[in-house]
């Protein structure tokens, strides 16, 4: 898993970070590199500090983060035609 150290650092430091709940933290390795009011500001700070080739994590500080679900068992949107589908007869005219 990518960013394992950063996730572990975030989880260990979360009790102290909660005073900044709703803001965004930049974590690199075992270091909290800063806390910013917006995701964009935190991301910019991360790139300024670590560049494009060093891993870092930007995460919203939340007491109870809402899980994000997705399914690998998804179907195409019924209102769109996939590129491999032949055109419907009504579209040929």
Name which residue leads in pLDDT, 72 or 60. 60
What pLDDT score does 34 carry?
96
Q: Which domain holds residue 14?
A: 4-60
Q: How many folded domains does the chain comprise?
A: 1
Name the pTM for this structure.
0.69
Evaluate whether residue 83 is within a structural domain. Answer: no
Tell whether 37 is covered by a domain. yes
Q: Distances in Å between the alpha carbon of 22 and those of 35, 39, 60, 62, 77? A: 10, 10, 6, 6, 34
Q: How confident is the model at residue 78 (pLDDT cuts 50, 70, 90)?
A: low
Residue 56 falls inside a structural domain: yes
User: Residue 14: in which H helix or E strand, if any?
Assistant: helix 4-17
Query: Which comes out higher in pLDDT, residue 35 or 73?
Result: 35
Share of the chain above pLDDT 70, in %: 71
84 in a structural domain: no
Q: Domain for residue 23, yes or no?
A: yes
Residue 87 has pLDDT above 80, yes or no: no
Q: Is 45 in contact with 34 (CB distance < 8 Å)?
A: yes
Q: What is the largest CA-CA distance in the chain?
A: 66
**What is the CB neighbour count within 10 angstroms for residue 88?**
8
């Amino acid at each position: 898993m990518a960013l394992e150290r950063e996730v572990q650092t975030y989880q260990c430091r979360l009790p102290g970070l909660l005073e900044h709940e709703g803001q965004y933290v930049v974590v690199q390795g075992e270091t909290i590199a800063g806390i910013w009011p917006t995701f964009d500001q935190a991301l910019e700070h991360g790139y300024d500090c670590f560049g494009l080739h060093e891993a870092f994590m930007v995460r919203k500080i939340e007491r109870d983060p809402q899980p994000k679900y997705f399914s690998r068992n998804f179907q195409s949107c019924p209102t769109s035609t996939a590129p491999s589908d032949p055109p419907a007869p009504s579209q040929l005219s």
